[in-house]
Structure 1
Amino acid sequence: MAPADENRTTGQPGLRERKKRQTRVALSQAAIRLCVLHGWADVTVEQIAAEADVSVRTFRNYFAGKAEAIAASHVERMLRVADDLLARPAGEPLWDSLLHAVLDQFVPPEGSAQQDSAPQNERWRAGVRLMLAEPALAGEIVKANAAAQEELTKAVARRTGTDAERDVYPKLVASVVAAGSAVAVEHSLRAEKPAPLGAILAQVFEQLAAGLPVP
């Protein structure tokens, strides 16, 4: 059996697919970085392609425009959340597993290269807020949320032994996780004083796991 067939059998992406995914991520991160630092209107597809060290033609092979490129990061992150969820210990409570999976993807470990390269100053936070408020991005974010929830639904279904198509439970959990994560990010970005995203996510998931009791 060929290696590519083995990958299809095990459900793991082959080398070609992994490289395509890496290129998508590189382009998406380049689009976010440039738009946050320089403003939506002042960033072109040509600049994004150059930042990711690919051709404009390659960019066009992956995305129709910079809005789609930016939104792709959300889908990729939730794909990794789904992968992390399935890799958690089988006996771990679902909401504990979900919190760990979300934290692993939304909050880089201290001292990691990802954390060190992520600007944490107010200019960056303000740039992210402006970018997310861009009307041209709204439709792509909606589509990205739908795609992300679909993938997370499949992971929750596998984790809980439910059916992703017939059962409400995995769809509901995926929807709540997506909404809770978005609320935490929004709260962190708009807090008067810098608020650690990890602490907010932990608070959100603690309340979700408890059934959202009235304060």
Structure 2
Amino acid sequence: MTSQLGLRERKKLETRAAMSHAAWKLMIEHGLEAATPDAIAEAANVSPRTFRNYFASREEAILDGLVQRGATVLDALRARPADESPWESLAQVLPSFAAGFVGQRGDIAILMRAVADNPAMRAQHLVTFELVHRQLAELIAGRTSTDAERDLAPRLLAAAVSAVLRTAVEIWATGESDTALPDLVREGLTQVRAGLPIHTAATT
């Protein structure tokens, strides 16, 4: 019975991943308007009803891959030594996982345009980042014996890290920097950890 349940759950995860991949591919290759629920279902070889059972909207399906990849980053953070500081764990994990989490530069540029142009996509994008932020805050709280609901520190650190990732991805995806994404993330974490040492320009 346990093995049957395990197989059933794996099949459900595979179905969900197939629909999310199809949704992402349709948006990247043909534009957001082409990624309708029916088109996603057809591309994933499932029924429209199956799509509705898994996702509330096409926007959720498109961004679900980012949510799942975010979970692998959190797993990598959980696997770090228990006595390691949260900053050190983040510095060790996030730069190396950044490229795999985000994907291709051109694809992310397309996503950013879709988020900017479509209110529903923008709202789902915010929901996605809020979910990752909340999970990261809970993880940090668990490693620091704090409470993610009541204490500032884990939530502030999670917010700072989310800001670093979002800013690094935006700079990288728009081609405003030739620096590789992992290096941008590493630099961002270093600057935030140092208290953002921005100095006033000297006057003559």
Aligned partner (choices 133, 139, 151) of residue 135 of structure 2: 151
Q: 2:128 & 2:40 partners in 1: Cα distance?
A: 20
* Cα displacement (A) at 1:168: 1.2
Contact 1:81–1:102 at 8 Å: present in 2 too?
yes
| Structure 1: segments with no counterpart, 5+ residues | 5-13, 109-113
Residue 68 of structure 2 corresponds to residue 71 of structure 1: no
Q: 1:57 & 1:194 partners in 2: Cα distance?
A: 44
Q: 1:172 & 1:192 partners in 2: Cα distance?
A: 27
* Cα displacement (A) at 1:174: 1.2
Q: 2:173 & 2:25 partners in 1: Cα distance?
A: 16
- Paired residues in the alignment total 196
TM-score by length of 2: 0.81
Q: 1:165 & 1:125 partners in 2: Cα distance?
A: 32
Aligned partner (choices 24, 27, 35) of residue 16 of structure 2: 24
Q: 1:78 & 1:210 partners in 2: Cα distance?
A: 25
* Cα displacement (A) at 1:18: 5.2
Q: Which residue of 1 aligns with 2:92?
A: 100
**Residues 100-119 of structure 1: pairs in structure 2 closer than 5 A:** 100-108=92-100, 119=104
Higher relative contact order (CA 8 A, sep 6+): 1
| Structure 2: segments with no counterpart, 5+ residues | 200-204
Q: 2:92 & 2:15 partners in 1: Cα distance?
A: 26
Q: Which residue of 2 aligns with 1:131?
A: 114
* Cα displacement (A) at 1:188: 0.6
* Cα displacement (A) at 1:20: 3.7
1:8-59 superposed Cα distances (whole Å, 9 cap, x missing partner): xxxxxx6655554444333223212220121111232222223334332221
> CA 1:119–1:181 in structure 2 vs 1: closer, same or farther (change >3 Å)?
closer
TM-score by length of 1: 0.77
1:94-152 superposed Cα distances (whole Å, 9 cap, x missing partner): 222113332343223xxxxx99xx655x5x45433322323220111122222221111
Q: 2:146 & 2:162 partners in 1: Cα distance?
A: 19
Q: Which residue of 1 aligns with 2:169?
A: 185
CA RMSD of aligned residues (A): 2.7
Contact 1:184–1:200 at 8 Å: present in 2 too?
yes
Q: Which residue of 2 aligns with 1:207?
A: 191
Between structure 1 and structure 2, the one with the greater Rg is 2
- Taking only the aligned residue pairs, the percentage that are identical comes to 38
> CA 1:201–1:16 in structure 2 vs 1: closer, same or farther (change >3 Å)?
farther
Q: Which residue of 1 aligns with 2:32?
A: 40
Q: Which residue of 2 aligns with 1:175?
A: 159
